[in-house]
Each structure stands twice: as structure tokens, then as C-alpha cells.
Amino acid sequence: MPRRAPVARPAAGGFSLIELLAVITILGLMAGIVSVSWAARLPQAELNSTVHDIAAAVSGARSDAIARNGEFRIYYDLDHESYKVVSPYRLGGGLAQTEAERVVVKRVTLPESIDLRRVTIDGVRYEEGVVFVTFDPLGSATGHTLQLVQHPSEMPMTIEVLPLTGLIRFHYDEFERPVVSEEDFD
């Protein structure tokens, strides 16, 4: 019987240890880059979220004032980094006779990394204490700006509420609209 030549077996499939280490190293580097990028964007996202929450409260107070035919207020507490929306009605119905009877519709404390630095109402700057703005049934509002700052980046953001319409504008820096005087119309 003739002898057959040995048949070569195909090489076993798989990866070598060096190939596996190279892939793990590349995946680790990619994960590190993604996590650094995410950490850099997180504070900006928190500031944007806070700004949009305040804008929603302002729009809601204006809408409620129109729909419910009453003067709604937003109180900004600069010392405690918070704000609250207050209705003109008392608990159980009817108009409130005193400030203490007014129902608080919404109360919000800002995140620790966000600083409510300044509120400017009709050209007057407030950097401490509690101030309030009003929204009337005709849709107008007390003209004001809020300056927020994100820590530790010190990134400023300004929310402007227009007086006649109560509409909101965002400014990605420090902003104050000049006060209009009679000389501007001469």
C-alpha cells in the first residue's frame, strides 16, 4: 500500500496575546477621550438646563397671568440662589388679601454650581436680598435681566425678559439693556 503524504492542517483560528493587548489598549484610550469630553460638557449642560428651567417658569407665570386674569410674581432670592412663582390667589380660591395668603406655585433652588449673580430690574441692579417681578393679565412683565454664572468655569449667561411683551431672550455673556430715556426720542 502506498503511503500518503501527511495532510497539512489549517492553522487554528484566533488572536494572539499581542493582538488582544493592542485592541484593549486602543479601547481604553478611546474610553478615556470620551470621558474627558463628557466631563467638559457636563457643566455647560447644567447651566443650559437651569437657564431653560427659569425661562419656562417665566413663560408659565406670564401665561398664568393672562389665562387666570391675575398678577403673578416671581421672587428671586439672590442670597439663597433660588426663585419662586407666586399666584395672586389664596388657598381655597379667591384673591389673596395679604402677601402671606398668596399661593406659591413653584419653588426652585438652583444647582450648587450655578450662581444667581445679579438681577437688574428697570435699570436697577440687585446683587443680594429678595426681589420680585410681576406679570400682568395683559401679558406685559416687569422688564428684567438675570445673570447666572457656572462654577468653576465662571461662564456667564444672561436671561432677558422684555417688559412690554414678557418675551425672553438669552445672551451667552454678561448683558444689560440700556435704560431708555426721553432724550432717546428727540
- On whether residue 107 sits in a domain, the answer given is yes
- On whether residue 75 sits in a domain, the answer given is yes
- On whether residue 5 sits in a domain, the answer given is no
Q: What is the CATH number of the domain that holds 29?
A: 3.55.40.10
The pLDDT assigned to 70 comes to 92
- On whether residue 6 sits in a domain, the answer given is no
Residue 173, all three cell numbers: 455673556
CA–CA dist 47, 144 (Å, integer): 19
Domain of 172, in residue numbers: 17-185
Asked if residue 171 has pLDDT above 80, the reply is yes
| Secondary structure of residue 179 in the 3-state scheme | coil
The pLDDT assigned to 12 comes to 61
Distance of CA 58 to the CA centre of its chain: 13
Considering its fold, how many domains does the chain have in total?
1
Q: CB neighbours of 140 closer than 8 A, spacing ≥ 6? A: 163, 164, 165, 166
Query: With contact defined as beta carbons under 8 Å apart, do 144 and 167 qualify?
Result: no
pLDDT, tens only, 110-148: 999 899 999 999 889 999 999 999 999 998 999 999 999
pLDDT confidence band for 151 (50 / 70 / 90) = confident
- On whether residue 80 sits in a domain, the answer given is yes
- On whether residue 143 sits in a domain, the answer given is yes
- On whether residue 76 sits in a domain, the answer given is yes
Q: CA dist 30 to 16, 41, 118, Å? A: 22, 17, 41
- On whether residue 8 sits in a domain, the answer given is no
Tell me the helix, strand and coil percentages in the chain, rounded to 5.
30, 30, 35
Considering the entire predicted model, what is its pTM? 0.73
CA–CA dist 26, 116 (Å, integer): 43
Q: CA dist 16 to 8, 12, 33, 179, Å? A: 21, 11, 26, 73
